[in-house]
Amino acid sequence: MALITISHSMGSGGMSIARRVAETLNLELYDDQRLREQAVTMGIQSEDLIGLYEKKPGFFDRLLSSKPEAYKDLMESVVYQVSREGAGVIIGHGSQVLLQAFGCALHVLVHASEPYRIQNIMKHQKLDRESAQRLIRKSDHEKGGFFRFAFNQDWDDPAIYDLIINAEKIGMDAAAKIIIETAQLDEIKTCSLTALETIEKLSQQRLILAALAKYNLNRTLLNVDVPEKGAVVIRGFTYSEADKQQAVQIVKAVPGISDVQSEISVIPSQVD
């Protein structure tokens, strides 16, 4: 069983490599479309799923009525949820950071030079050189913006990857073979039951935080703990009894939550 995250720059061939890895290892491939499908099964409303991409906050603003934090939490919830099986190939979406603490996940970066990437885009999307270059640079800019917003770091930081592959130099077949062989090493452990339970609880926590943000509750005043699957303890403060009750009702309505314990205190806001 292998849990692999593959991040790539546009035009590097990363998607083709990921498909070959998934097919050879008989693993589910979680690309953008598959993540959307998973989100629907989790009970996330379709209007919240428009554009499940790695974009900078300005793009989130247009997608979720100026609620980029809610969108970020939804995306993270989906990544954690698909990871709870302990196996699969996940394409980007911050998975290389979200699963960094879990030693059972193998994190791969596929890269190539800009001229190589431009040639690939020109070939596969039938674009001229200038258009292909603009598309690639736009993608790099948006991916970088998303990562700085979501994780406060660079997406191509070598420190967050276990394996970095230059697809231009070694080719896609060899790149896929290296990833497959690495994933099968004894050093790449299967995710323990404890790790999988932790991942599932993180998924539920992010889903709750997204729901609170969507309804404009101040999340900085609230702390959400998921001590066990389906059970939630919500602590912190609100400025009114109505906000307190709304927070509890929002959490109860989150799919998969069966027990909610409230430890929220009401502190009336002071008016001069």
Residue 209 lies in a domain: no
Per-residue confidence (pLDDT) for residue 62, from 0 to 100: 42
Indicate if 58 and 178 belong to the same structural domain: yes
What pLDDT score does 65 carry?
43
Distance CA 137, CA 148 (A): 16
Among residues 134, 159, 183, the one where a domain terminates is 183
Q: What is the mean pLDDT of each run of 10 residues along the chain (272 residues)?
A: 92 96 96 84 64 46 53 87 92 93 94 96 94 94 86 92 96 96 88 91 90 79 91 92 91 90 84 50
Is 129 in the same domain as 237? no
Is the same domain home to 83 and 150?
yes
Contacts 24+ apart (CB under 8 A), 47-56: 48/74, 48/210, 48/214, 49/74, 52/78, 52/93, 54/92, 54/93, 54/94, 54/142, 54/143, 54/146, 54/147, 54/155, 55/142, 55/145, 55/146, 56/141, 56/142, 56/144, 56/145, 56/146, 56/148, 56/149
Q: Is the same domain home to 24 and 85?
A: yes
Same domain membership, residue 237 and residue 106 = no
Angstrom distances, CA of residue 19 to CA of 85, 136, 146, 162, 269 = 19, 21, 24, 19, 54
200 domain-assigned? no
Report how far residue 205's alpha carbon sits from residue 224's, in angstroms, rounded to the nearest whole number.
7
Pairing of strands 105-111, 222-228: unpaired
Do residues 85 and 191 touch, judged by C-beta distance below 8 A?
no
DSSP-derived 3-state class of residue 6: strand
Do 230 and 119 lie in a common domain? no
Asked if 130 and 234 sit in the same domain, the reply is no
Same domain assignment for residues 155 and 224? no
171 and 228 fall within a common domain: no
Single residue among 183, 202, 237 that ends a domain in this structure: 183
The residues that bridge with 90 in the sheet, in sequence order, are 5, 30
Two tokens, residue 252: 């109860």
User: Do 135 and 244 reside in the same domain of the chain?
Assistant: no
Would you say residue 188 lies in a domain? no
Q: Is residue 206 part of a domain?
A: no
Give a yes or no: residue 199 inside a domain: no
Give CA–CA dist 259/229, Å, rounded. Answer: 9
| Cα–Cα distance list, 187 to 102, 190, 243 (Å) | 13, 9, 49
Euclidean distance between CA atoms 196 and 125, whole angstroms: 39
CATH code of the domain covering residue 39: 3.40.50.300
Task: Give the pLDDT of residue 33.
Answer: 83
Q: Residue 55's domain spans which residues?
A: 3-183
* Confidence (pLDDT) at 20: 97
